[in-house]
Amino acid sequence: MTTTTATPIQAPVRPGTRLTQALGSALPVYVLLALLLGALAVTDAGFYEPDRFLAFVRRAAPLVLLAAGQYLVIVSGHFDLSVGAIVTTGVVAAAEIYHSFPGAHWLVVTLALVAAGALVGLVNGLITTGLGVPSFITTLGMMLILEGGVFYWTGGSPTGYLPDDFRALGRQDAFGWLPWAVLVCAAVGAAVWWLMRSRWGRTLIATGDSERAAELSGVATARVRTLAFVLSGAAAALAAVLVGGFSGVSAQAGSGMEFEAITAVVLGGVLLGGGRGSVVGAMAGAFALTALFTLLNLRGVSGSLEPTVQGLIVIAAVAVGAANWSRWRRRSPNRDQPPPAGPPPAGPPSAEPPSTPGTAPPTAPTTGPTGPTAAPSKRNPSTGGPTA
């Protein structure tokens, strides 16, 4: 008997479906960014002049770096509220270093700040993953420790200065026209994008999606998440270099930037619970948030309303993300169940002969005290004899 296998009929793909799938959950932020840039062009006719547009990108660069680092932590299922305090501490520490060592090389100071930021991230990660303290509590405590230490160290008025060679990354241009901050953002974005396409990035997303499943698959979830905190702290320290170069020394240099980074990441379509999102979308969210604040400033809206706008953005973005996630779960109700069993694997034939239709299977003989005995036969209740 010949069996035929039916070939499933695939539904035609609509023209925009592949593009939408490629952009993923970050599609709304790309649309929003395009609308905001268009609104800026209408509001300010000179916004797209090279100098002014590059100044806008330079101003957004620190937040872009923070969003890239915050993305790594959020996609793993945690938060990092200490990045703003790391920025403030980095700026103040650099000024104090140059006050004590005026001849220090800018690259040595920059690497020292990045190493210190990575160390803070390592402490956050070890406490969160090793001791089981929620990341919200861990990083909130670290933020208070750093801010209190800066205030004690400076008395609210930091001393020292930042030389021009140290401030070059935040305020000067490469090749005479391209800001160094843009190159730094591009390098960090490319590095994080490459990391997320590596084995570590895939395990990071798997950990954020389901920690239990990742552990059963052999993933060292604690180590993966700790490294995410380390990279977030290093990115925050690098952002401190850009902030110091752009705006100078201030005891409030990074105040509130942790919430701006979280807002940018959420705006970029990253799920707060972890397991979904792209670093490109998070960085685009940082540009969109900066463009929004710039537009509000040009429209004469008070800067004191920026926290209100951030709160509305976070609530709206999380609500939309949760609705999309619930809709996807409803469309895939059995995604957590194992697939149906296929045909039995081919193996050696059974030693037991197959039974023919209409006959009972053979009965194995039983073993008595003196040897094997025949199996008892059924008796006819009406005649007392054996059944036919």
The DSSP code sequence of 240-279 is: HHHHHHHH---TTTTTTHHHHHHHHHHHTT--TTSS---H
* Structural domain boundaries, residue 70: 25-297+307-326
pLDDT, average across residues 72-82: 93
The answer to whether residue 367 sits within a structural domain is no
Examine residue 363 and state whether it is found in any structural domain, yes or no. Answer: no
pLDDT at position 44, please?
87
Q: Whole-angstrom Cα distance, residue 184 to residue 179?
A: 9
> For residue 93, what are its two tokens?
């520490």
Whether 195 is in a domain gets the answer yes
Residue 351 included in any domain: no
Residue 366 within any structural domain of the chain: no
pLDDT tens-digit series, residues 174-201: 887 888 999 999 999 999 999 999 999 9
pLDDT of residue 349: 47
Q: How far is CA 93 from CA 64, 97, 151, 217, in A?
A: 22, 6, 12, 43
Say how many domains are in the chain.
1
pTM above 0.75, yes or no: yes
pLDDT digits (tens, 9 = 90+) for 127-169: 999 999 999 999 999 999 999 998 888 877 777 788 888 998 8
Higher pLDDT, 9 or 227: 227
Which of the four pLDDT bands, split at 50, 70 and 90, describes residue 255?
A: confident
- For residue range 292-338, what is the model confidence (pLDDT) as tens digits? 999 888 888 777 777 888 788 778 777 776 666 556 556 555 444 44
Among the listed residues 95, 92, 62, the one whose alpha carbon sits nearest the alpha carbon of residue 258? 62
Separation between Cα atoms, residue 272 and residue 274, nearest integer Å: 5
CA distance 2 to 224: 52
Query: Does residue 238 lie in a domain region?
Result: yes
- Domain membership of residue 355 (yes or no) is no
pLDDT at 356 over 60: no
SS3 356: coil
Query: Quick one: pLDDT band at residue 114, thresholds 50, 70, 90?
Result: very high
**Tokens 């969160």 correspond to what residue?**
128
CATH number at residue 185: 1.10.3470
CA distance 13 to 8: 15
Q: Is residue 334 part of a domain?
A: no
Q: In the prediction, which pLDDT does 94 show?
A: 93
Query: Residue 174: helix, strand or coil by DSSP?
Result: strand
Specify the higher pLDDT residue, 288 or 349. 288
